[in-house]
Amino acid sequence: MAAAARMLTRSQSRSTCVGSWGNGEEPAPPGNREVAAGIKSHRPVKRQQKTQRLHVSYEALNGEKNEGAEPLAVTVWEPQDWQQQLANIRTMRSRKDAPVDQLGAEHCYDPSAPPKVRRYQILLALMLSSQTKDQVTAGAMQRLRAQGLTVDSILQTDDNTLGKLIYPVGFWRSKVKFIKKTSAILQQRYDGDIPASLAELVALPGVGPKMAHLAMAVAWGTVSGIAVDTHVHRIANRLRWTKRMTRSPEETRAALEEWLPRELWRDINGLLVGFGQQICLPIHPRCQACLNQALCPAAQIL
């Protein structure tokens, strides 16, 4: 007797009357059994429901070969022309001369610092980058590093001085408070290092999902998800890379992760951010200079 196998079904039957019958025939519906036996019945005869063919494939267990098994097909939605659109974006970004390529948060830390300090500086740069141009973030990080940028040095800096060092980043007053609170938590709970999990990162004051995903990728070398900021959110909707229009970066992230191959998750942020800084601008996008003009649904109406 063949070894035990696990049965996988790709679609469910709409009828509960389908069985395994040796002669390949289906049984008469319950309401018709008396008729089939030549017996009159006063009950109304129910019309037999149309059944849907049940596709079954088998997956062998314990490493056994299952040569006759039908492969299980999984349908995944993906945008039309996305591969060509992405190839065109790579071409337009081949020079890597956008602000994010030289001044992004992953370029603002001191490469000669100890690993723990580097990771802290990466997280701090990401916190400063929210709602702030890369040039402004890089300037603030340069001033902080000149003072000696560590957890201890930040905690020893008074709020007024810290505010002057990071100004004019967006929402700099709030960021002073977030940086102080987060630095205190890192000192008390993580020995001055940053958490190595997404959940712990987003629990820190002033750290959102985009920052946490980038911190995991840049500081720890772990791809935990797609980092979606306003550029990625805008471009994904313009290219129709989501099934429906999304209203927030987090909604866009979830939509992209449903279909975008995981091996592209790490690079997609930098590609689209630079593309959004140079060509697919928030206002008055440079559609005439875009290789995706004929493939972009938004270009037809902008």
Q: Is residue 284 part of a domain?
A: yes
User: What string of pLDDT tens digits covers the 302 residues of the chain?
Assistant: 444 444 434 344 444 433 444 444 444 444 444 434 444 444 544 444 444 434 444 444 554 555 555 566 667 899 999 999 999 999 999 999 999 999 999 999 999 999 999 999 999 999 999 999 999 999 999 999 999 999 999 999 999 999 999 999 999 999 999 999 999 999 999 999 999 999 999 999 999 999 999 999 999 999 999 999 999 999 999 999 999 999 999 999 999 999 999 999 999 999 999 999 999 999 999 999 999 999 999 999 87
Q: Are residues 113 and 212 in the same domain?
A: yes
Boundary (domain end) residue, out of 185, 220, 255: 220
Q: Is residue 277 part of a domain?
A: yes
Domain of 240: which CATH number?
1.10.1670.10
Cβ atoms 105, 218 nearer than 8 A: yes
Neighbouring C-beta atoms of residue 181, cutoff 10 Å: 13
pTM above 0.85, yes or no: no
Tell me if residue 175 is catalytic.
no
Cβ atoms 150, 138 nearer than 8 A: no
Say which of 40, 50, 164, 210 is annotated catalytic: 210
**What is the C-alpha to C-alpha distance for residues 274 and 27, in angstroms, rounded to an integer?**
64
> What is the span of the domain harbouring residue 275?
82-95+227-289
Q: Are residues 236 and 181 in the same domain?
A: no
Boundary (domain end) residue, out of 196, 220, 244: 220
Q: For the chain, how many structural domains are there in total? A: 2
Boundary (domain end) residue, out of 170, 191, 220: 220
Q: Is residue 67 part of a domain?
A: no
Query: Would you give the distance in Å from CA 80 to the centre of its chain?
Result: 19
Q: Is residue 299 part of a domain?
A: no
